[in-house]
Amino acid sequence: MDLSIAAFLAQDGVTNGAIYALLALALVLVFTVTRIIWVPSGEFVAYGTLTLAGLQLGKPPGTVGLLIGMALVAALVETIATLRRREARRLPARLALWLGLPLLIAALVWWAAPRGFSLPVQILLTLAAVTALGPLQYRIVYQPIADASVLVLLIVSVAVHFALTGLGLWFFGAEGSRTPAFTGASFQLGELTFSAQSLLVVATSVVLIGALYLFFGRTLHGKALRATAVNRVGARLVGISPSFAGVLTFVLAALLCAFSGVLIGPITTVYYDSGFLVSLKGFVGAIIGGLVSYPLAAAGALLVGLLESFSSFWASAFKEVIVFTLIIPVLLWRSLATHHHEEEE
């Protein structure tokens, strides 16, 4: 291996790592605030790519159907919950939020699909559509069991992953999709070639991470989420609603995943079930950060990207095996670094 190959692999690894980092941050965010190990995050990545691909082809993407379906279920769940609590007066406002807003987004995407808008507009539509699925998922699946143990929430997450993969096949079909590169430009630096696409991906990730940092450090909602992450009961006592925190978390997390999907589209062909492996790579990164530390999670994700890229050069058939086996020494290290706590129930 000479320097130019190494540089190429490193560039590849950092690009992928930057995408995994977004995912790792989403996973840490969801876990710290809601204690949910969000396995189905990968489906949001896949939906992101496939939605953008659909818009590029001028077809209404499967996301439209998915949004309508989930909005109807969420509306049903919300109606039952509201009537049980005898708060019928609040029902119209809640239905506007859980049914009206998603339907509006779905209609907008459906209307815009055949009109061939420019790429930035299509990306915005994609982000809106996929992000809307996040809070809907929280409302339907997780909010009713928000107090369950971490393990129950995890098993539910895996069940959601199962269901969403099947739904992905139904709504998006079995064909894989690739989205065109944002830019074909590249430039030389000495002997090394850098593609503008990679730089764009890395820059986008850095900007998003910076934005998250500001959100958590400087805004009231961000601080509320942090408070919930540190102490759920305490946060509730000072007036932060846990379901509001959950919904907000899922908005942010789904947005991060949708972004990952948009960024990964030009790099690799994405199928309806590709998300799982991507999300697990995010998990390996997040676990390096103990599922709680944002900077460590991002660094871990970068490491996963590099490892993947270099192992695909040396032993491409075993690329995934190597990446997922990495989790074993990582866990060993974490288990030595943290001391044992009594299981929460």
Which residues lie near other proteins (CB under 8 A)? 37, 39, 141, 144-145, 148, 150-152, 154-156, 158-167, 169-170, 174, 277, 280, 283-284, 287, 291, 317-318, 320-321, 324-325, 327-328, 331-332, 334-335, 338, 340-343, 345
3-state secondary structure of 189: strand
- As measured in angstroms, the least distance from the Cβ of 336 to other proteins is 8
Q: Are 48 and 126 in contact (CB under 8 A)?
A: yes
Measured from the CB atom, is 187 or 318 closer to other proteins? 318
Give the rounded distance of the alpha carbon of 62 from its chain centre: 18
141: DSSP letter: I
- As measured in angstroms, the least distance from the Cβ of 192 to other proteins is 32
- As measured in angstroms, the least distance from the Cβ of 254 to other proteins is 18
Alpha-carbon gap, residue 302 to 285, rounded angstroms: 8
Alpha-carbon gap, residue 94 to 102, rounded angstroms: 12
- As measured in angstroms, the least distance from the Cβ of 329 to other proteins is 8
- As measured in angstroms, the least distance from the Cβ of 214 to other proteins is 30
Q: Are 148 and 267 in contact (CB under 8 A)?
A: no
Measured from the CB atom, is 2 or 342 closer to other proteins? 342
- As measured in angstroms, the least distance from the Cβ of 298 to other proteins is 18
Joined together, the tokens standing for residue 38 give 């969000």
- As measured in angstroms, the least distance from the Cβ of 194 to other proteins is 32
Measured from the CB atom, is 51 or 157 closer to other proteins? 157
Placement of tokens 């560039």 in the chain? 11
Nearest Cα residue to 147 out of 248, 82, 242? 242
Alpha-carbon gap, residue 115 to 276, rounded angstroms: 32
Measured from the CB atom, is 40 or 263 closer to other proteins? 40
Joined together, the tokens standing for residue 218 give 């400087």
Q: Are 277 and 208 in contact (CB under 8 A)?
A: no
Nearest Cα residue to 46 out of 117, 126, 103, 107? 126
3-state secondary structure of 251: helix
3-state secondary structure of 269: coil
Measured from the CB atom, is 128 or 247 closer to other proteins? 247
Measured from the CB atom, is 215 or 324 closer to other proteins? 324
